Amino acid sequence: MSAYFSSALGITWRYLHNLYTRPAMFIPSLLFPLFFLAAFAGGLSAVGDAPNFDYYDFTAFQFCFILLQASALAGVFAGFSIAADFEQGMGRRMMLATRPRSAIVLGYGIGAAARLGVTWTVVTGVALLGGMKVSGGGLDLAGMYSLALLSNVAALLFSAGIALRFRSLQAGPLMQMPVFIILFLAPVYVPQALLTGWIEPVASANPVTALLDAARSLMAGEPTGILAAYAVAFGMIAVLGIWAITGLRRAETAG
Amino acid sequence: MAGRSVVRLVRQPAAVVPSVIFPLFLLAVNTGGLNSATQIPGFPTDSYITFALGFTFIQAAIFSTMNAGQALAQDIENGFFSRLMLTPMRPSALMAGQLAGLVMLGQMQALLYIAVGYATGAQFEAGFAGIVVLAVLVSIISVGFGGIGLIMALRTGSGEAVQGMFPLMFVLLFFSSMALPRDLIEQDWFRFLATINPVSYLIEAIRSLMIVGWDPEALALGFGIAIILAVATIASAAYTLRGRMLKS
């Protein structure tokens, strides 16, 4: 068992070392959420004045979306690294050195979660500097960040499933686009009650909506739908975990 | 060269389809999500799709930057460009050829977006003459942004470097008046950025045809900026091309 975790942590260390010694890799992933935070919270703040927009602070409203988005994309970027390692042959060497091989996915998973520390600190710091008001208490905020962590794990497992099946960076758009799309099909700009047209039923059926609504309620200090959000998050992780492990089996079969 | 550029686009749907579909996706998401913004006092129309449609044309034109640059970078990478340099072809013909496919794509996108707009209830106050003006403006904008792609390709000779411009293009798009009119942007710093961002005026020119009908100031600013952009980028691309020809 200790060999299993030792392998996983070795992969985590390698992943984080590669990430933080190559600014070209981690700076874009840091700038991306900041860019969206500035564009949405800055450019759309007047939307908070629309009738029936009943959230207490527009920047905080957008921050919750950006937090989930940044966390999920950190998982996707770890998927890129898996694909790159397999493309360059490193993946095969990892396969030879680890057993059971799920330690590979676990290692990248821990790495993807660990990089969140920097992302959360920067995004939260910039939002606070930008005047974001926080209404939730410590426990509420812990709940909100843990939902973001679960979205990171789900996105990592999804991307790992793709990366291990294709074992090429060319599959990058297949990892990124679905995550991007599902995030934007949630109530990004306004509460769900203010959505109109086709996006309203789509957002209702979108599992990310439950996470986003719960995160926003925790930020406001008025938690609602928390159990449902955690159930959705763990459900997604269970399904995507199977997706990632079957991807690993495919990679094993391919040699 | 023009024929090759058009055929190349037609034969590479994977390169073209995202630049057509992604703006439509964003239009759909923004329209559904931001429709309540039309209730903000001072919003110029009660139909958000009418307001947002103008942004779709510009977004598509900006995405075409990547297509033009990518195509030329590919030619440089695989040696086709060097072989062309051995022929008596004039540099201006080479650039016009590269941009022909882009202008055609821009026109097809414009037609598609107008059709989608009509189908989803967008208004077009300027009528048929406005559509013609829109087509001309979109062509000039496509050439302008296509020229940026050509400059990048000629300077770097790398498709990867051209793709690396994507985030910059995204910033230009999002820090503009794409989602709200400039006078309704509350944050001063954002309104300032949107005001100095030329993309705002391109969007507002197209938007004026849809919401107002004929707004001489918005059209003059939009056409003026589009023409300056096209002339500047093509002149710069021609200068860079001469330098690369000397090197080849």
Reported as a pLDDT band with limits 50, 70 and 90, residue B15 is: low
The whole-model pTM stands at: 0.83
Give me the mean pLDDT over the B210-237 stretch.
94
pLDDT value at position A4?
A: 86
A13 exposure class (CB count in 10 Å sphere: 0-12, 13-18, 19+): middle
The CA dihedral of B218, B223, B226, B228, to the nearest 10 degrees, is -110
- Two tokens, residue A95: 């396969």
The reply to whether residue A43 touches residue B36, judged by beta carbons under 8 angstroms, is no
Of residues B16 and A159, more confidence is placed in A159
pLDDT value at position A197?
A: 84
- Cβ–Cβ contact B40 with A under 8 A: yes
| pLDDT of A1 above 70 | no
| pLDDT of A77 above 70 | yes
Give me the mean pLDDT over the A113-117 stretch.
92
**A-B C-beta contacts closer than 8 Å:** 85
Reported as a pLDDT band with limits 50, 70 and 90, residue B80 is: confident
Reported as a pLDDT band with limits 50, 70 and 90, residue B248 is: low
pLDDT value at position A230?
A: 97
Instruction: Say what percent of chain A tops pLDDT 90.
Output: 62
Query: B36, B48, B55, B200: best mutation site toward chain A, by most A Cβ within 10 Å?
Result: B36
| pLDDT of A218 above 90 | yes
Q: Which residue of B has its CA nearest to A32?
A: B167
Out of A53-57, A152-156, A202-206, pick the least confident: A53-57
The reply to whether residue A43 touches residue B184, judged by beta carbons under 8 angstroms, is no
In this complex, the residue of A32, A51, A188 whose CB is nearest that of residue B33 is: A188
Reported as a pLDDT band with limits 50, 70 and 90, residue B164 is: low
Task: Collect all residues of chain B within an 8 Å Cβ-Cβ radius of residue A187.
Answer: 33
Out of B189-193, B228-232, B234-238, pick the least confident: B234-238
Query: What distances in angstroms separate CA A122 from CA A27, A70, A108, A119, A126, one per listed residue?
Result: 11, 11, 22, 5, 6
> Mean pLDDT over all residues of chain B?
84
The reply to whether residue B180 touches residue A46, judged by beta carbons under 8 angstroms, is yes
C-beta separation of A209 from A187 below 8 A: yes
pLDDT value at position B14?
A: 61
pLDDT value at position B25?
A: 86
Reported as a pLDDT band with limits 50, 70 and 90, residue B160 is: low
ipTM greater than 0.85:
no
C-beta separation of B163 from B156 below 8 A: no
On the CB side of A4, how many CA atoms lie within 13 Å of its CA?
Answer: 8
SS (H, E, C) A143-200: HHHHHHHHHHHHHHHHHHHHHHHHCCHHHHHHHHHHHHHHHHCCCCCCCHHHCCCCHH
> Mean pLDDT over all residues of chain A?
91
Task: Collect all residues of chain A within an 8 Å Cβ-Cβ radius of residue B178.
Answer: 43
In this complex, the residue of A39, A52, A181 whose CB is nearest that of residue B175 is: A39
pLDDT for B24-74, tens place per residue?
Answer: 888 888 888 888 888 888 899 999 999 999 889 888 887 776 777 777 777
Reported as a pLDDT band with limits 50, 70 and 90, residue B93 is: confident
- Two tokens, residue B223: 């056409």
Please report the residues numbered 162 through 191 in chain A whose beta carbons come closer than 8 angstroms to any beta carbon of chain B: 173, 181, 184-185, 187-190
pLDDT for B94-105, tens place per residue?
Answer: 777 777 777 777
Give me the mean pLDDT over the A143-152 stretch.
97
The reply to whether residue A50 touches residue B33, judged by beta carbons under 8 angstroms, is no
CA distance B182 to chain A (A): 9
Give me the mean pLDDT over the A190-218 stretch.
93
pLDDT value at position B9?
A: 67
| pLDDT of B144 above 70 | yes
In this complex, the residue of B18, B37, B190 whose CB is nearest that of residue A47 is: B37
pLDDT for B104-136, tens place per residue?
Answer: 777 888 888 889 988 988 888 998 999 999 989
pLDDT for A30-41, tens place per residue?
Answer: 888 898 999 988
The reply to whether residue B33 touches residue A181, judged by beta carbons under 8 angstroms, is no
Give me the mean pLDDT over the B202-207 stretch.
95
Alpha carbon A82 to chain centroid distance? Answer: 16
